Amino acid sequence: MSSLFSAARHRPTHRQVWALATPMILSNISVPVVGLVDTAVIGHLDGAHHLGGVAVGATLITFILWAAGFLRMGTTGFVAQACGARDGDRLRLVLLQALWLALLLALLVWLVHRPLLNIALHFIDSSEALLEQARLYFNIRLISLPAALANFVLVGWFIGAQRGRAPLYLLLTVNLTNIVLDVLFVLVLDWGVAGAAWATVVGDYAGLLLGLWLLRPVLARYPGVTDWSAALRLRGAAPLIRVNRDILIRTLALELVFYLLVLQGARLGDSVVAANAVLLNFLLITSHGLDGLAHAVEALGGHALGQRNRQALKRVLVVSTFWSLVVGSGFVLAFNLLGGWIISLLTSVESIRSVATLYLPWMAWMPLVAVWSYLLDGLFIGATRARDMRNAMLAAVLLIYVPAAWLLRDSGNHGLWLGFYLFMLARGALLGGWFFWLWRRDRWMQPLGLNPQA
């Protein structure tokens, strides 16, 4: 117990955690601002088909980007461990191989995008004018896909290298460029939906150029040899590919939960499904704060693992857990005091407001339930234990959420949210239990990193 108190009082670790968490929280906040500006700008065009087209097109491209989030998470742990071991060769190899994987994925999407787009739009019962705008927006946004995926890699790489300000600068460049050009292209030049899409394209490539430039000082700190041949041939990349594969499976399983949540809510009526969509914004708000601390755990935990420094990892965990609980409690307090006001900001429809207010307590206390899965995800990402994350997610979905959703199907919306609570608790419990089992057997401090010579 005394060692835990000692870790909690270690001021340098507190500074390290917030030095990484603060920039990521600020950069996360900029993301929804872009969505609001897109909506406001396109919303001033004549005809609902413009805004509807952007909404549909953006949803389709966002699905691809969200599924490709493994490029960010799969890179961070390897980089953090390489930095901890001061292995400049491996640091460069991870960067090049991850960027190459991002480009290959973008090329694959380009090759199959037409049939995928046609299938997706086939099931959308909307006017031809709206669908045409959606196609236009989607096809233009595809031009920026290589840059958007490369930016995922760069953000993950910078987090792993404990350069929290670099992702902030990169993401602010992407989002501020997008906002300024949104106004210029749509309102000034009257490019319509195409203007909104081109604004995002330019923003993504501007962020990529800045990110590549910001690599220089970090690489200079870790001297090494750049093996272009090994990178392009993906030599020794099997661990990186396996991690990305497992994180992709985990992401798709998580996406299934949210899909089932919407599907179950739809059975209860339009007002319920709309109210649940409003309430999920509370979870989104929570993630902006807790994700920043999870990123700190990724970087500092992976760095400690690369150094084989058990005490440093313990300090990171104690300090990050403390601040995550503080931030989570702050969200609980804010949601209980201001939840009704937030709902009023998100919707002006009285029927939706009343239903959302009825079920608000579920989301008002969610931060203290969700905090464990965010924190432990960061710990496992930093350790590149993606297979464990995948298995825990699949177990939580298949053994807890799906049976709970079926057993509670006649319990209305309260049953739906109870099932979601059980799922979030299961995620944390499974990851936490597995971590403590490995820690007690002294197996956690065995890096699963990338071997350049493999």
Quick: pLDDT tens for 241-263.
899 899 999 988 998 898 888 77
Judgement on whether residues 162 and 256 belong to the same structural domain of the protein: no
CA separation for the pair 81, 86 (Å, rounded): 8
More confident residue, 384 or 274: 384
Whether 451 has a pLDDT exceeding 50, the answer reads: no
Judgement on whether residues 197 and 314 belong to the same structural domain of the protein: no
The pLDDT of 4-30, averaged and rounded, is 78
pTM of the predicted protein model: 0.83
Q: Which pLDDT belongs to residue 256?
A: 87
N residues, the chain: 454
Whether 369 has a pLDDT exceeding 90, the answer reads: yes
Quick: pLDDT tens for 184-220.
998 889 888 899 889 999 999 999 999 999 999 999 9
Q: How many CA atoms lie within 13 A of 260 on its CB side?
A: 20
CA separation for the pair 99, 146 (Å, rounded): 9
Judgement on whether residues 286 and 330 belong to the same structural domain of the protein: yes
Whether 32 has a pLDDT exceeding 70, the answer reads: no
> Which pair of tokens denotes residue 447?
């890096």
The DSSP 8-state label assigned to residue 189 in this structure reads S
Quick: pLDDT tens for 175-185.
899 989 988 99
Tell me what the pLDDT averaged over the chain comes to. 86
Judgement on whether residues 299 and 440 belong to the same structural domain of the protein: yes
The pLDDT of 136-149, averaged and rounded, is 93
Judgement on whether residues 205 and 258 belong to the same structural domain of the protein: no
CA separation for the pair 50, 130 (Å, rounded): 7
Instruction: Give domain status of residue 108, yes or no.
Output: yes
Instruction: Give domain status of residue 453, yes or no.
Output: no
* Segment among 11-25, 44-58, 79-93, 401-415 with least mean pLDDT: 44-58
Judgement on whether residues 91 and 183 belong to the same structural domain of the protein: yes
Q: Which pLDDT belongs to residue 363?
A: 92
CA separation for the pair 438, 388 (Å, rounded): 11
What is the number of domains present in the chain? 2
CA separation for the pair 102, 90 (Å, rounded): 18
- Cα-to-chain-centroid distance, residue 350: 32
Q: Is 439 exposed, middle or buried (0-12, 13-18, 19+ CB in 10 A)?
A: middle
CA separation for the pair 430, 185 (Å, rounded): 49
Whether 430 has a pLDDT exceeding 90, the answer reads: yes
> Which pair of tokens denotes residue 163?
């350069």
Q: Which pLDDT belongs to residue 285?
A: 82
Whether 53 has a pLDDT exceeding 90, the answer reads: no
Task: Give the three-class secondary structure for 323.
Answer: helix
Judgement on whether residues 179 and 280 belong to the same structural domain of the protein: no
Whether 98 has a pLDDT exceeding 90, the answer reads: yes
Instruction: Give domain status of residue 454, yes or no.
Output: no
Instruction: Give domain status of residue 404, yes or no.
Output: yes
Give yes or no for a contact between 278 and 346, defined as CB atoms under 8 angstroms apart. Answer: yes
Judgement on whether residues 337 and 276 belong to the same structural domain of the protein: yes
Q: Which residue range(s) make up the domain with 185?
A: 18-234
Give yes or no for a contact between 54 and 133, defined as CB atoms under 8 angstroms apart. Answer: yes
- Cα-to-chain-centroid distance, residue 162: 18
Give yes or no for a contact between 360 and 340, defined as CB atoms under 8 angstroms apart. Answer: yes
**Percentage of the chain modeled with pLDDT above 70:** 91
Instruction: Give domain status of residue 8, yes or no.
Output: no
Instruction: Give domain status of residue 10, yes or no.
Output: no
The pLDDT of 94-122, averaged and rounded, is 90
Judgement on whether residues 314 and 369 belong to the same structural domain of the protein: yes
